[in-house]
Amino acid sequence: MSKVCIAGAGSWGLALALVLEKNGHEVTVWSALPEEIRLLKEEHENKRCLPGVIIPQTIRLTDKLDEAVADKDVIVMAVASPYTRATAAKLAPYIKDGQIIVDVAKGIEEKSLHTLSQVIKDELPTAQVAVLSGPTHAEEVSRFIPTTCVIGAEAEETACFLQNLFMNESFRIYTSSDVLGIELGGSLKNVIALAAGIADGLGYVEANPALDLDGIDAAHKICILAQNGYQKFVDFDQIQASGIRNVTKLDMDYAKKLGYRFKMIAQAKPVKDGLGIDVSATLVNLNELVANVMDSYNVVEIDNDYVNNIIYYGRGAGRYVTASAVVSDIMKTHQVERWSHDYEDCKHVYPISSSRYYVRASKPVDIPYETYYSEKDDHIYITEEIELADLKNKLNDENAVIFKVRG
């Protein structure tokens, strides 16, 4: 049996207290709010956070920090992330060297950008700091519904000790030495989840997001436009789409410094004995309208023999836009003439390989360029118009990052 202090009487702290009490450990729960402790002692339930979950009398409740942490084998930091540093500072007078502290909150400190284990180490440099994280919900853990978590600790001995401390038949614990990875994953997934939820609520999300990320949705659209524009039936499987998965923040930052912004560009034009059609992440000059198409808006640009450049601009996603398009398609289905054609097959579809290119290399390279920029170990070029095969030949097996540049 181990003696454990849970610092924080919220839903997650109480859920873990129940797990540890079930495992036979001596558990003390501390809160900085005397009123919270008073209600827990009277009602044996946190009706706001965990309604219906009874806190047994074997779990000690206190608002006295010195009593809570005295002679404890493990201290579990379950306070909300903005209060982690202040709570750790309060602990400093009472803990011994080598004290095991397990942070179970998720977050990154706003000013320092430190993870919470780093924040605790700042305040308690002699402590052994570990983390516990996972795809868990306090209301489920408190009711012993099976779930899993991971313990992260620099020392394998500490990780194994904590694994045995927490694990039971409903609470599966794995161990890892990647403390930073666990904390970043636990923190950033919440940001991603919130952003995804907002996008879904606004109607911006594809049922299969890969259709957007990999350029498949854009390829479908350019296929339809090319067929009607050039009156040739295009085999969709011949269209090359590379998408935006390989665009990194580093390249986005360099593009911005050079006056460009990445956009997913689908293009089609006549070439040789067929059509050039492709989809790719492309740098567009910030002065162009296309570079400033944001959010759910799309743009279609047509170069015409008689009236030159025409641009159609408007929403391409959203609840009402999608509903309107669906209703419009349904209404048109009975008009057979709208869907029939006598186009001949386009025998050859090629990627459009002649372009200006953005090149990021780890050393200077001998290529024809309009713009050059270097930072640290990166060498950035905006090339003159060149065939992609010729560019790769000039790079001479240099492992360079290459994107198209519009214009």
Residues 137 and 163 in one domain: yes
Per-residue model confidence (pLDDT) at position 97: 94
CATH of the domain at 94: 3.40.50.720
Which segments within 198-296 are labelled E, that is strand?
232-233, 240-241, 260-271, 274-285
Select the more confidently predicted residue: 338 or 286. 286
Average pLDDT, the chain: 91
Per-residue model confidence (pLDDT) at position 301: 92
Residue from 104, 149, 155 nearest 127 by CA: 155
Q: Which amino acid is at 265?
A: I
Helices within 266-373 (DSSP H only): 319-332
The total number of structural domains in the chain stands at 2
Per-residue model confidence (pLDDT) at position 195: 82
Distances (CA, A) of 103 to 7, 56, 58, 186: 10, 24, 23, 12
pLDDT of 329 > 90? The answer is no
Residue from 353, 389, 356, 354 nearest 255 by CA: 356
Band (pLDDT 50/70/90 cuts) for residue 282 is: very high
Residue 392 within a domain = no
Per-residue model confidence (pLDDT) at position 268: 96
Chain segment 308-320, per-residue pLDDT in tens:
888 898 888 777 7
Q: What percent of the chain has pLDDT over 90?
A: 76
Residues 31 and 179 in one domain: yes
Catalytic machinery residues: 189
pLDDT of 334 > 70? The answer is no
Residue 202, classed as helix, strand or coil, is: coil
Q: Is 323 left (phi over 0), alpha (psi -120 to 50) or beta?
A: alpha
Per-residue model confidence (pLDDT) at position 232: 92
Per-residue model confidence (pLDDT) at position 99: 96
Residues 177 and 229 in one domain: no
Residues 144 and 241 in one domain: no
Per-residue model confidence (pLDDT) at position 321: 79
Q: How many CB atoms lie within 10 A of CB 75?
A: 28
Residue 39 within a domain = yes
Chain segment 32-91, per-residue pLDDT in tens:
999 999 999 999 999 888 999 999 999 999 999 999 999 999 999 999 999 999 999 999
pLDDT of 206 > 80? The answer is no
Band (pLDDT 50/70/90 cuts) for residue 204 is: low
Angle between helices 11-22 and 156-166 (to 10 degrees): 80
Q: Which amino acid is at 153?
A: A
CA dist 67 and 63 (Å) reads: 9
pLDDT of 122 > 70? The answer is yes
Q: Which amino acid is at 288?
A: E
CATH of the domain at 249: 3.30.360.10
Residue from 360, 371, 370 nearest 395 by CA: 360
Across the range 361-373, mean pLDDT stands at 96
Can you give the residue range of the structural domain that contains 181?
Answer: 3-192
Per-residue model confidence (pLDDT) at position 244: 93
Per-residue model confidence (pLDDT) at position 56: 94
Q: Is 144 left (phi over 0), alpha (psi -120 to 50) or beta?
A: left
Band (pLDDT 50/70/90 cuts) for residue 407 is: confident
Band (pLDDT 50/70/90 cuts) for residue 333 is: low
Chain segment 222-250, per-residue pLDDT in tens:
999 999 899 999 999 999 999 899 999 99
Per-residue model confidence (pLDDT) at position 337: 64
Residue from 371, 402, 399, 366 nearest 384 by CA: 371
Select the more confidently predicted residue: 51 or 323. 51
DSSP secondary structure letter of residue 96: P
Residues 71 and 126 in one domain: yes
Across the range 162-183, mean pLDDT stands at 95
Across the range 113-122, mean pLDDT stands at 96
Distance between start and end Cα atoms, the chain = 71
CA dist 285 and 329 (Å) reads: 35
Residue 402 within a domain = no
Residues 288 and 314 in one domain: yes
Residues 215 and 337 in one domain: yes
CA dist 262 and 286 (Å) reads: 10
